[in-house]
């Protein structure tokens, strides 16, 4: 087909499809935080980290949260022109979606991969790419990661000064979006060292200088260095299993990776067994209706198996490459650059990510595809068609499901426009916080004495929210929910698992449950403080 021969045309078509899925999606999960940060920065650009946002129990400064504000600065400039409507801001985000697709395609060309169109389809329709196009930092950060890899690969063969410089520069911009790209500085340094291009090590001063300048800004604004003082969590072995599980939940192309392995028969039996288990779970969920925690746990175990298969195969490919080239020669291959991107970002996620989510794996997913490309190319047509069909189907189904998930809060919040003498208060963050606030509902702060008897108090059951249950005495007068349907059956809604999964919480699973339940209550008492 001409579409698949003309890669740029394919990029455009895929971009339009992904943009169409996301263009009028309700603001969701961390979108509300990013919007509030951008609105603060729009009016206070000199003190970007001093704005107050209620993202737990009460408003706290931006500098107590996790991310630097470059993306928020960009968002603020767009808001100045377009306002905060979903369509213009998602069109802004779609620019980064296009750049991610374009850069991934360029990587396949630089690596001279003959199956680039197939890889592009697997990348574009992966659920991590489809769903995570929210107004968050993940796709913009992915652009900086892909661009850094592209320039680093180009530096191997031509104009080293310019390409090493550009690779380091885009990492610098990435650091000002999210600190998780810091390990790429080590990757650049290692590649320069392995190729004995030591005279180009100076390029590392560019991103380090950008980070140092940002730190000086921090000291002037709030008296400490955000990069050093930001929230973090310690390593726990459970995070390893979570990373493997999320990888297994997204790597639906694993069927295409088994072709050349000596254990391919066993691996294929395992994969088809997993596929059969997912099919069997459909009638089990529909007719037996086990509890959602049990369904999620079963899915996580299935994802663990698929993830372990993928990790095992990637390690096997690495060992084969080293044996084929010899260790010293392998250090100078372009293949090693792709390996180092996987290892460096993966290690940072394991060690420092406060929780595990599909958006974290999104950063290494394209490199897994690029690294596996020679194996995927030799796979049978049946295996590749299976991988592509599963990827497209699940990407679309989870994209629609998450669209419904986000939309529930926008639609329900619209029912609450304060009127009369009694105030209306809301607990709950994410998109619910944004839409209730836009409708004039007051945000609750834990311990606030402003909430009076007779006021209306609304909150969603499943959204992260302020502590109030030991403080307020509430009389529930209504529950608002929508029954689960065919569009939400493939679901990442259980504990918002597509955005934060754990050992017992699968990134996605089947669900018949309502998206959420909104509790509408009358305040009958306020103790003022937590007991």
- Give the pLDDT of residue 4: 54
- Please list the ranges in the chain whose pLDDT falls under 70: 1-5, 231-236, 261, 529-531
What ranges do the domains of the chain cover? 1-228, 232-379, 405-526
**Can you give the pTM of this predicted structure?**
0.92
List for the chain the helix, strand, coil content (%; round to 5): 60, 10, 30
DSSP class of residue 53 equals E
User: In the block, which residue shows the tokens 């380091």?
Assistant: 168
Q: What is the 3-state secondary structure (H, E, C) of 439-493?
A: CCCEECCCCCCCCCCCCEEEEECCCCCCCCCCCEEEEEEEEEECCCCCCCCEECC
Q: Is residue 127 within 8 Å of residue 508, measured between CB atoms?
A: yes
Pseudo-torsion of CA 341, 344, 347, 352, nearest 10°? -110
| Interval 346-394: pLDDT, tens | 988 888 877 888 999 999 999 999 999 999 988 889 899 999 999 999 9
- Give the pLDDT of residue 101: 97
Rounded Cα distance, 334 and 191, in Å: 10
Q: Is residue 395 within 8 Å of residue 130, measured between CB atoms?
A: yes
Question: What DSSP assignment string belongs to 394-428?
Answer: HHHHHHHHHHHHHHHHHHHHTT----SSS-EEE--
Residue 131's Cα: distance from chain center in Å?
8
- Give the pLDDT of residue 5: 63
First-to-final CA distance of the chain:
68
Rounded Cα distance, 35 and 42, in Å: 10
Helices (H), 133-182: 138-155, 160-175
Longest dimension (CA), the chain: 78
Q: What is the 3-state secondary structure (H, E, C) of 240-282?
A: HHHHHHHHHHHCCCHHHHCCCCCCHHHHHHHHHHHHHHHHHHH
Specify the DSSP element, H or E, that contains 518: strand 517-526
Rounded Cα distance, 22 and 94, in Å: 9
Pseudo-torsion of CA 93, 98, 102, 103, nearest 10°? 10
CA 252 to each of CA 194, 257, 302, 488: distance values in angstroms, whole numbers, following the listed order: 34, 10, 12, 20
- Using a 10 angstrom Cβ sphere, with 0-12 exposed, 13-18 middle and 19 or more buried, the burial of residue 28 is buried
């Amino acid at each position: 087909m001409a579409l698949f021969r003309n890669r740029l045309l394919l990029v455009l078509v895929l971009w339009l499809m992904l943009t169409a899925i996301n263009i009028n999606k309700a603001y969701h999960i961390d979108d509300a935080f990013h919007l509030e940060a951008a609105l603060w920065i729009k009016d206070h650009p000199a003190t970007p980290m001093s704005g107050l946002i209620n993202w737990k129990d009460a408003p706290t400064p931006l500098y107590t949260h996790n991310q630097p504000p470059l993306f928020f600065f960009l968002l603020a400039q767009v808001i100045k022109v377009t306002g905060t409507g979903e369509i213009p801001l998602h069109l802004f985000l779609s620019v980064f979606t296009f750049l991610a697709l374009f850069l991934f395609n360029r990587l396949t060309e630089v690596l001279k991969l003959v199956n680039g169109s197939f890889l592009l389809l697997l990348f574009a329709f992966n659920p991590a790419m489809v769903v995570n196009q929210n107004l968050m930092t993940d796709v913009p950060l992915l652009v900086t990661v892909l661009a850094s890899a592209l320039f680093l690969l180009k530096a191997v063969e031509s104009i080293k000064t310019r390409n090493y410089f550009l690779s380091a520069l885009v990492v610098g911009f990435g650091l000002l979006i999210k600190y998780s790209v810091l390990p790429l500085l080590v990757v650049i340094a290692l590649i320069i060292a392995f190729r004995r291009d030591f005279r180009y090590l100076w390029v590392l001063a560019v991103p380090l200088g950008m980070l140092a300048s940002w730190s000086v800004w921090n000291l002037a604004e709030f008296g400490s260095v955000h990069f050093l003082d930001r929230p973090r969590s310690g390593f726990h072995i459970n995070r390893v299993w979570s990373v493997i599980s999320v990888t297994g939940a997204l790597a639906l192309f694993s069927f295409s990776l088994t072709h050349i392995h000596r254990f391919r028969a066993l691996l294929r039996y395992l994969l088809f067994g997993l596929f059969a288990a997912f099919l069997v779970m459909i009638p089990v969920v529909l007719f037996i209706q086990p509890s959602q925690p049990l369904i999620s746990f079963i899915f996580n175990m299935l994802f663990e198996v698929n993830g372990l298969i993928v990790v095992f195969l990637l390690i096997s490919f690495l060992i084969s490459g080293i044996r084929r080239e010899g260790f010293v020669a392998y250090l100078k291959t372009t293949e090693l650059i792709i390996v180092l991107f996987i290892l460096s970002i993966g290690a940072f996620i394991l060690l420092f990510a406060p929780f595990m989510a599909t958006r974290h794996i999104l950063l290494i997913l394209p490199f897994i595809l690029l690294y596996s490309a020679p194996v995927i190319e030799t796979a049978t047509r049946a295996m590749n068609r299976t991988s592509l069909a599963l990827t497209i189907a699940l990407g679309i189904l989870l994209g629609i499901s998450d669209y419904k998930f986000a939309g529930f809060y926008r639609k329900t919040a619209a029912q609450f426009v304060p009127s009369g003498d009694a105030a209306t208060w809301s607990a709950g963050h994410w998109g619910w916080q944004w839409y209730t606030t836009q409708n004039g509902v007051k945000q609750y702060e834990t311990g606030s004495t402003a909430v009076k008897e007779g006021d209306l108090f609304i909150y969603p059951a499943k959204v992260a929210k302020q502590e109030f249950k030991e403080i307020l005495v509430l009389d529930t007068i209504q529950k608002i929910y929508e029954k689960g349907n065919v569009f939400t059956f493939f679901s990442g809604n259980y504990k918002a698992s597509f955005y934060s999964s754990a050992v017992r919480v699968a990134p996605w699973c089947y669900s018949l449950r309502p998206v959420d339940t909104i509790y509408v209550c009358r305040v009958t008492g306020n103790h003022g403080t937590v007991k």
